[in-house]
Chain A
């Protein structure tokens, strides 16, 4: 056998011995796909056990029957019929569940519009006006830190400001703008929207900022050279290129607000009904199939919103 290896063997025995061991160790090594499974498997298992299977259980249990204290594993549509009780009989008036979802959508829309406005301009300032990388990092960190701290604390932080005897009311009374404290500042829809904006604008700032820093600055200069006004550049260059970030941020904010029950509970003084609160109330009453049915409805609505939004942009490509 006169292979190139034999020739090499004669010229330089050491080299071939080296390749010999290399080949042997390669055979002993694990196959790449097995290593991938080993690396990604544990995370997959966690999602399987604590996310995917639980979701399946939510759907299954939503079709189970129940009485005052336990689940009855037999097919029943009671979870759904209890939820929509009286919806048809009451027409044309809206039933409780329809009103609740409309209220949730309204809150959601308000929070979305406000967080989008604030998030866009904060991200714009950081991406285009802050030139130094150090300042850019420092200021984005400044926006991020509150996200790492407790939501409940950030909610109750509004109490000393908005309460009946809070800073805002006493300030307004002192300056003579109002005669007596106003009540709608706290435990109202106003305080709920305010707190949600306060908590979740972060989810708009980060993705929009990420899209914006990737925009090639020469495109903006080109627009400027071609005679575009600042507004035209914004509408025709920056917004289209920042669209992926805007869509991702919107998905985050909308899904969080749709499912929220804690902020709406605490800041609404436990008085405002919302999609997430229905689930919580049903669970507290141990009506699990009804809770699960509501979870399925909420899931479907959330899914519809996300599908609609992801038509605008391919999320996976943008990450």
Chain B
């Protein structure tokens, strides 16, 4: 290769830096603005520095019942994460063999990813309305609704997180060496043992990635929640509601709190992935151990 860097490197490096600034600049602006003084407004310059607006959120005297929406979003996010991990890993395993309906499942996942969210969301809400009407008509006159956080809401979020989970599983098994599993089988491992002791430890870092996607996509999900979640609101829905009436920096404070949760989850997941990779590198190699 040639020595030194071509001029295009510097041009593109500046372009990349500008893109990064474009990505992060505005976000950083609102994190800073959420620490406005009590008299501060929606824009710069800062009018003092305080945690007034963040404290106001937690007092519950502000615009939304932050606590309740926060707990709902957290609960839904965790359930979505668990279900996404389990179903994606299982389906990913299935795709390593040929099976009937393989094509249908694959195209359903892709379609679910690219059909506009508002359509999926509307469809789920229509489906549950029709189910409600059926229940009202046949069983119980006073039945309210079967729509809710953990019925229609959970389903709506899964149509968004599962395709990502499945695609990540494809990426994992593209790089997976099946000889490792054969070796386990030759040593007498049952399929479950081979999965538990050979496959799972190797794919675990990426499985945590799936969990990370599951949680954060659900935690921030808006378009699919909008029609499909029923009477209750998640945190992003409350936040969106605020954007039309925004006059105080408390909306930024709420944004900062939501982002803080996202960033904590991202950091935890990446930290765990890093730790697992290091452990795998250390334990996975028998270099220097001799014959034991």
Contacts and interface: CB of A to CB of B under 8 A. Distances in A.
Interface in A156-174: 156-161, 163, 165-167, 170
B276 interface: no
Interface in A44-91: 44, 46-55, 57-58, 61, 71
B70 interface: no
Interface string B147-166: 00000100110110010001
Interface of A (DSSP majority class): helix
Given A49-B155, A166-B43, A279 B29 contact: no
A295 B118 contact: yes
B129 A276 contact: no
A51 B112 contact: yes
A292 B125 CA distance: 11
A42 interface: yes
Contact of B15 (A52, A121, A145): A121
Contact of A142 (B20, B90, B212): B20
Given A156-B255, A319-B170, A43 B240 contact: no
A198 B23 contact: yes
Contact of A159 (B42, B126, B130, B167): B42
B12 interface: yes
A148 B97 contact: no
B220 interface: yes
Contacts of B55: none
Given A156-B246, A157-B27, A251 B114 contact: yes
A44 B226 contact: no
A122 interface: yes
A150 B262 contact: yes
B116 interface: yes
Given A40-B91, A315-B110, A143 B23 contact: yes
A71 B42 CA distance: 43
Interface residues of B, number: 94
A143 B252 CA distance: 22
Nearest to B240: A152
B243 A280 contact: no
Most buried by B among A57, A124, A198, A291: A57
A29 B236 CA distance: 47
Contact of B94 (A39, A149, A159, A288): A39
B266 interface: yes
Contact of B216 (A38, A148, A163, A306): A148
Interface in B96-116: 97, 99-102, 104-106, 108-116
Contacts of A259: 115-119, 223
B95 A40 contact: yes
A273 to B, nearest CB: 14
Contacts of B33: 160
Contact of B266 (A29, A49, A122, A148): A148
A141 B212 CA distance: 13
B148 to A, nearest CB: 14
Contacts of A121: 12, 15-16
A270 interface: yes
A279 B118 contact: yes
Nearest to B86: A42
Contacts of B271: none
B99 A276 contact: no
A230 interface: yes
A270 to B, nearest CB: 7
B63 interface: no
A122 B124 CA distance: 37
Interface string A259-295: 1111000100010000010011001000010011001
B90 A40 contact: yes
B207 to A, nearest CB: 15
B119 A262 contact: no
B88 interface: yes
B101 A40 contact: yes
Given A149-B259, A161-B25, A258-B116, 13 more contacts: A39-B94, A40-B99, A40-B105, A42-B91, A50-B120, A55-B115, A159-B30, A198-B23, A259-B223, A279-B119, A283-B122, A283-B227, A299-B119
Name the 6 nearest CB pairs between A and B, nearest first. Answer: A259-B116, A54-B123, A50-B155, A36-B99, A157-B26, A39-B94
30 contacts: A40-B102, A43-B88, A47-B159, A47-B162, A51-B108, A51-B111, A52-B108, A53-B123, A57-B126, A58-B119, A122-B16, A129-B13, A143-B23, A146-B23, A146-B27, A148-B213, A149-B220, A149-B263, A150-B258, A153-B258, A156-B255, A161-B29, A167-B43, A255-B114, A255-B115, A259-B118, A280-B118, A291-B122, A298-B116, A315-B110
